[in-house]
Chains A and B, each alone.
Chain A
Amino acid sequence: MLNGRAALRGLAGFLLALAFWFGFSRPYERAIAAGAQTLINLFESPDVTRLQPGNGEILLDRRDFPPGSARPGLPGPDIHFNFVLLVTLFALDRKPLRGEHVARFLAAAAALFFVHVVALVFQVHSVYVTSLGAWSEANYGPVARNFWAAGFHFYQIAGRFAAPFALWWLFGRREEEEPSERPRRAGKKKRRG
């Protein structure tokens, strides 16, 4: 699977993904912020959390924050830059633009979008549990504090890198084509001999 051609396809995929990511990361951030806000609001009563993307940061606002106080900014790229990894891994395929492979990529990208939304939910709650002083201590117990903070820390350290790899492994590899590679290889060997 890994040869010079695959490396070239990977490089092309990486560069295309970078260009796409730089061009579309702002609208994408709006989409994950909307998804995360909806998910957070579902479990809030009253629903006070507001996520406002802009300029590479997602501003975390609450309707019950004092009007003049500073709003924490969450760095968006840290959450979703791993889209570039996913595209590069899918580009390694022998026929990356084949219809079925593109469909599998879209399924993996949709799953990665869901991962990003959940990661942002964890990030927001990790701010709530660790960064708001007495308010954090009054509203979250030790179990909740560890759950949200460790969950987001796991995403930062391992999850954001593992997610594209796992999704590619699940959606992007084509086991059904591998047996057909064998006769071709055997044929090549014969010609060489």
Chain B
Amino acid sequence: MSEVLVSARRRSVGFLLRFVALLLVFYLIVASHPVNDAVIVPFTAAIASVSGRLLNAFGEKAEVAGTEIRSSSFGVNIENGCNGVETALLFGSAVLAFPASWKRRLLGLAAGFVAIQVLNLLRVITLFWIGIHRPALFNSSHTVIWQSVVVLFGVLLFLLWASRQRPLSAERSPTGRDRSRKG
């Protein structure tokens, strides 16, 4: 393996270690009782509230109580894992672990968080609709399809963002594209 490849591999592993460390730190913050009670639960309730309004706008008679959305025939409780926070943690850890300027990181974090939450709203609304009209499909749609789609969206968003950082961070990029060695 050439020196360039060894160096690229080292940067790549370095990124991965920073990513895992950040993910652990963010998890500990989000899972702590004070943050969960003061931030995550109200945030999840806000998602339920917006989803309820959108569902009502589409003609479904939905009622919201805290993090629960209910209709006469179906109800869901939005929990951790369904509020988009897990994908935001993944995306945020990857963006912060990647070598880029702080301005670009913060812009990426803000834009990514909004995009992930918009998709997650679509997920909640769709799942509620499936729960009412196609209940047999709810479990697989909930656990496998939508969960995978939202996480993949977060990962692809990161890859897209990272691919645009090369001009600023080519020499340190974990993608291994070391422009100074192009020769």
Cα A39 to Cα B105 in complex, Å, equals: 42
- Is A84 an interface position by the 8 A CB rule? yes
A-B interface pairs (CB < 8 A), number: 98
**Bound Cα distance from A161 to B85, whole angstroms:** 12
Identity of the chain B residue whose Cβ is nearest the Cβ of A17 in the assembled complex: B148
Q: Is A103 an interface residue (CB 8 A)?
A: no
Chain A positions 14 through 30: 1 when the CB is less than 8 Å from some CB of chain B, otherwise 0: 10001001100000000
Is B175 touching A178 in the complex (CB atoms < 8 A)?
A: yes
The residue in chain B whose Cβ has the minimal distance to the Cβ of A156 is B81
B9-A175 in contact (CB<8A): yes
Contacts of A162 in B (CB 8 A): 19-20, 23, 90, 93
Q: A156-B81, A157-B31 are in contact. Are A179 and B144 (CB under 8 A)?
A: no
Interface string of A168-187 (1 = CB under 8 A from B): 01100101101100100000
B30 contacts the other chain (CB 8 A):
yes
In the complex, B89 has a CB within 8 A of chain A? yes
Q: How far is the CB of A110 from chain B (nearest CB, A)?
A: 18
Query: Which interface class (under 10, 10 to 19, 20 to 34, 35 or more) fits A?
Result: 35 or more
Asked if A77 is at the interface (CB within 8 A of a chain B CB), the reply is yes
Question: Which of A1, A75, A169 has its CB near the most chain B CB atoms (within 10 A)?
Answer: A169
Pair B143/A81 contact, Cβ less than 8 Å: yes
B25 to chain A, nearest CB (A): 11
Interface size on B, residues (CB 8 A): 45
B155 touches A165 (CB 8 A): yes
Say which one of B59-67, B120-128, B129-137, B156-164 lies at the interface with A.
B156-164
Q: Report B13-65 residues with CB < 8 Å from chain A CB.
A: 13, 15-16, 19-20, 23-24, 26-27, 30-31
Q: Are B86 and A150 in contact (CB under 8 A)?
A: no
Q: Are A161 and B20 in contact (CB under 8 A)?
A: no
A10–B89 CA distance with the chains assembled, in angstroms? 22
Q: Evaluate contact between B163 and A2: CB separation under 8 angstroms.
A: yes
Q: A175, B156: Cβ atoms under 8 Å?
A: no
B152 CB contacts on chain A under 8 angstroms: 10, 14, 85, 88-89
Q: Mark A79-117, 1 if CB is under 8 A from B, else 0.
A: 001101100110000000000000000000000000000
Q: Name which residue of chain A comes closest to B4, CB basis.
A: A179
Per-residue contact bits, chain A 136-174, to B (CB 8 Å; 1 contact, 0 not):
000000000000001001101110011001100110010
Picked from A88, A89, A169, the residue with its CB within 8 Å of the CB of B16 is: A169
Whether the pair B31, A150 counts as a contact (CB closer than 8 A) is yes
Q: Say whether A78 faces chain B, with CB atoms less than 8 Å apart.
A: yes
B→A interface (CB under 8 Å):
1, 4-5, 8-9, 12-13, 15-16, 19-20, 23-24, 26-27, 30-31, 80-81, 85-87, 89-90, 93-94, 139-140, 143-145, 147-148, 151-152, 154-156, 159-160, 163, 175-177, 182
Closest 8 CB pairs of A and B: A175-B176, A175-B8, A161-B151, A81-B144, A77-B143, A84-B148, A158-B27, A157-B86
- B-contacting residues of A (Cβ < 8 Å)? 1-2, 10, 14, 18, 21-22, 56, 75, 77-78, 81-82, 84-85, 88-89, 150, 153-154, 156-158, 161-162, 165-166, 169-170, 173, 175-176, 178-179, 182
Q: A10-B152, A154-B31, A170-B12 are in contact. List 4 more A-B contacts (CB 8 A).
A: A82-B148, A165-B155, A169-B19, A175-B5
> Would you list 16 pairs from A and B whose C-beta atoms are within 8 A, ordered by A residue?
A1-B159, A2-B156, A56-B139, A81-B144, A157-B89, A158-B27, A161-B87, A161-B154, A162-B23, A166-B20, A169-B16, A170-B12, A175-B9, A176-B5, A178-B8, A179-B4
